[in-house]
Chains A and B, each alone.
Chain A
Amino acid sequence: MAANEIRESVFSKLVGRWSTQSIVTVAIGSALFGVLLDFVGIPVYTNTKLSVAYLVPVFVGALYGPLPAGFIGLFGNFFADLIAGSGFWPEWWIGNFIAAFVIGLLPLYGARIEDGIFTKKHAAIFTITSLIGLLVAFGFIAPFLNTLFYGGEKLINFAQGYIAVITDGAITIIAGIPLLFSLAKRNRKNSHLTKE
């Protein structure tokens, strides 16, 4: 059992360092993601939907960073499957983790939303990185795993993936960027407020 114990302690060290606040953020963020994925959207084809759920990783990534955002994608998708009952499709959990992670990379390239900093340049970088993230996650990895696990026609699986890229990308960019600007505006330092 030694190998088991070592693996366990490394993993638990990785997760154990997380503060209670991070755990709570991921927990309720995942709940939010799951609810939105299931109940606030229009199914397009099989497992793809035009859903506003992707705004959650945008929000969480902006304020807390990529790893919480990624986990929200992962656990949130799991919750969504649990609630809806139409089956567990693990390749999508992985896809959502990767996509949400990349979308949440904002702090890494200088967009400090909690200090009110988000410029047009950041918006441009966000658009590009998010699209790349979605492309990698749903345009490549998820359909690849899909074909690996369930066979099926590659073309269709990849098409399904691309649809997800487009729908989630649409929400992330069309709705997400105004959201980020809005957040930054709200967090502008309020020390110089005067009554007019």
Chain B
Amino acid sequence: MEDTFIVNYLPGVHSIQKLNGATKIALLVANLVLIMVTFDVRILGIAFLINLGLLLSERPQWRTIKAVTWFVVWMNLLNVALMFLVSPNVGSNAIGQSTVLFSLTSHYPVTAETLFYLSVRLLKVFSMFVASLWFILAITPSQLAEGLYRLHVPYKVCTIMSLGLRSVPDIMRDYKTIKNSLQMRGLELDKKRTGLFKRIKLSVKILMPLLFSTFNRVGTIATAMELRLYGIKNQRSYYNFQPATKVDWTFRLVAIAELCLAGAYLYIELFITKGGLSHVWYPGK
């Protein structure tokens, strides 16, 4: 069942997978913030390479990530094509100058700026994707909960993470059981035989027992937790805790550096060059 998931429940063996949970979370947040904040292709390029490096260092199996990678690549290429069709001068508008390279039709000039802008956009979304992917392949639910706690998130929120992810396989199994059982009674979800409207109504029928059987357990789970002293203190320890090593601190420094870079970039953009948040750096300007 868990081969349908990308995230692993057990720790992996490659170097970054062995890192402390808090390190990975900090690294992810720093990378996401940096990528989201900047439109400067130089910084984005560095971020992309860093994240790609992190991803490749854990030697992901192509078989595992093939589907999502193609999905993200194609969806974004499609998006970019649509962007061009809707607003062929998007790049020139954003950058503030227009250098026409050639024209597809009179309404569709292809400017260097637009090509550049669309490339920056692609670089951004692909960086987001790669950053998310290495994280997902490196983290386990236990490390996620424990890492967040190290970063001063209240432990009750961390419990939401660990308990939630623990329940996911069970819920998937329950969903399949309920669906099969209803199909045997005659529920028809085949596109060819039932219309969309009806299918929406029928999917509710599957949801009712799923909702009830899932939430009926809340009382027992909460009772079991309290019987084992959950919530008795303001702090708790974590069995899966791994002390931070030198390697951890190296990566944490990288994360801090990235955050500082993001901060500096924002400061410069907002107050010094006054370019604004969406300012795109262009080499030809």
Contacts and interface: CB of A to CB of B under 8 A. Distances in A.
Q: In the complex they form, do A and B come into direct contact, defined as C-beta atoms under 8 angstroms apart?
A: yes
A8 B5 CA distance: 33
What interface size band does chain A fall in? 35 or more
Interface string B57-82: 00000000100100110011011001
A75 B156 CA distance: 13
B203 A52 contact: yes
A124 interface: no
A23 B175 contact: no
Contacts of A148: 277-278
A interface SS class? helix
Interface in B39-92: 39, 65, 68, 71-72, 75-76, 78-79, 82-83, 86-87, 90
A109 interface: no
A82 B72 CA distance: 15
Interface in B215-235: 215, 217-219, 221-222, 225-226, 230-231, 234
A150 B168 contact: no
A85 B172 contact: no
B254 interface: no
A32 B171 contact: yes
Interface string A5-35: 0001001100110111101111111111011
Contact of B156 (A23, A25, A150, A170): A23
Nearest to A174: B200
B185 interface: no
Closest 10 A-B residue pairs measured CB to CB? A85-B6, A27-B163, A12-B154, A149-B36, A27-B164, A153-B83, A88-B132, A31-B167, A87-B129, A87-B132
Given A23-B222, A82-B136, 12 more contacts: A20-B230, A21-B218, A23-B163, A24-B222, A27-B160, A27-B161, A28-B171, A29-B215, A31-B171, A32-B214, A85-B68, A152-B121
